[in-house]
Amino acid sequence: MKYRTFAKNEQLSAIGLGCMSMSHAYGTPDDPESIRTLHLALDLGINFWDTADVYGNGKNEELISKVLTENRDKIFIATKFGFRTDADARLTGFDARPAYIKQAVEASLKRLKIDTIDLYYAHRIDPNVPVEEMVGAMAELVTQGKVRYLGLSEASATSIRKANAVHPISALQSEYSLLTRDVEAEILPLCKELGITFVPFSPLARGLMTNTLKLDELAANDFRKNLPRYQQEHQDNNTKLAEGFAELARQKGCSPAQLALAWVLAQGDNIIPIPGTKKQDKLKDNAGSVDVQVTVQDKQNIEALLLKYPNIGDRYNENNKKFVDRS
């Protein structure tokens, strides 16, 4: 594994591990396989793990704790707060009030069975709570020793600047992949300017760029069934795109996932993607991306392919979009 510098002091694996799919959003959980995958991550040197209190209504944090507690010094753990859900784990709103933040961090610490969270994110920006007030409350957690570093997710440039003026923001997590590139115009340069590590989630476009995703076989409760990009009207375009990308990877002697992740890594040395998986074979494949070098010709070939198949569809539906900060 190769490593990248985080917050000037930490050495984090260049490929992190997104743990959401182990307990949430993608099909049926498989806890035994997930535990094996977590142990394999340690063996591969993947020390940056990402979860959230909303994943499985806390079940993902509890699952991770089974490996985290006995390997605490080997793992840099990130979790998030803010989404409120009903008993069926459906999102009902977002809450970044200081009083709720205090409750949320205690609940996460209890489920993770640790004393300090390495990186604590606001999962979104609450339009009803000033950013300065939210980050001020998060900063108190650092002073109290409950949290080491602060992060934001899906935040606008304006919110990032406001937050960073209250307390250093060490990480920004937003969707970024070959198919979702909104952050390139303003967010990526701002992260460079402020010394913020950019953490792309869904760097494989929720599996689309692996050329293994079969939309017709998705489980009824799979999150992607609700997203425009994974609907029938875009299927022909995206199937051909994935197949074309797989051919570029074949010519290069790597897997499609490795080429897609290597492309993300090549966009900046302050970028640490967190592809999610519950399966050991996919984790091994993802880890191999750090050894793939993306050339100028590779980038040109990829851009030409993307231009050939532009009908990729939106990444979010209207309900999901309302939680994305556009201030």
Task: Tell me the C-alpha to C-alpha distance, in Å, between residue 258 and each of 143, 228, 253, 276.
Answer: 40, 25, 10, 13
What is the reported pLDDT for 167? 98
pLDDT tier at 326, thresholds 50, 70, 90? confident
- Which residue did the predictor score with more confidence, 17 or 230? 17
Sequence-separated (6 or more) residues with CB below 8 Å from residue 189: none
Can you say how many angstroms the Cα of residue 15 is from the centroid of all Cα atoms in its chain? 11
pLDDT per residue as tens digits for the range 209-253: 998 888 777 777 777 877 888 888 899 999 999 999 999 999 999
Share of residues in the chain with pLDDT > 90 (%): 82
HSE-CB at 278 with a 13 A cutoff on CA atoms is 19
Other residues' Cβ atoms within 10 Å of the Cβ of residue 221: 12
Architecture per CATH, 3-206+267-289:
Alpha-Beta Barrel (3.20)
Q: What pLDDT digit, counting tens, does each position of 64-115 carry?
A: 999 999 999 999 999 999 999 877 767 788 999 999 999 999 999 999 999 9
230 catalytic, yes or no? no
Residue 161 · residue 152 · CB < 8 Å: no
Domain ranges of the chain: 3-206+267-289
CA distance 45 to 49: 11
**Structural contact between residues 299 and 217, judged by C-beta atoms closer than 8 angstroms:** no
Query: Quick one: pLDDT at residue 323?
Result: 73
Identity of the residue numbered 70: E
Dist. CA 100–CA 265, nearest whole Å: 35
Beta carbons within 10 angstroms of residue 84's beta carbon: 12
Q: Pick the catalytic residue from 26, 55, 120, 309.
A: 55
- Residue where the block lists tokens 């984790």: 283
The answer to whether the beta carbons of residues 171 and 151 sit under 8 Å apart is yes
The 10s digit of each residue's pLDDT in 285-305 is 999 999 999 999 999 999 999
Distance (Å, rounded) from C-alpha 71 to C-alpha 39?
10
- Rounded CA-CA distance 79/255 in Å is 29
CA 242, distance to chain mean position in Å, is: 21
Contact 137, 102 (CB under 8 A): yes
Give residue-wise pLDDT tens across range 164-204.
999 999 999 999 999 999 999 999 999 999 999 999 999 99
User: d(Cα 162, Cα 102) in Å, to the nearest integer?
Assistant: 21
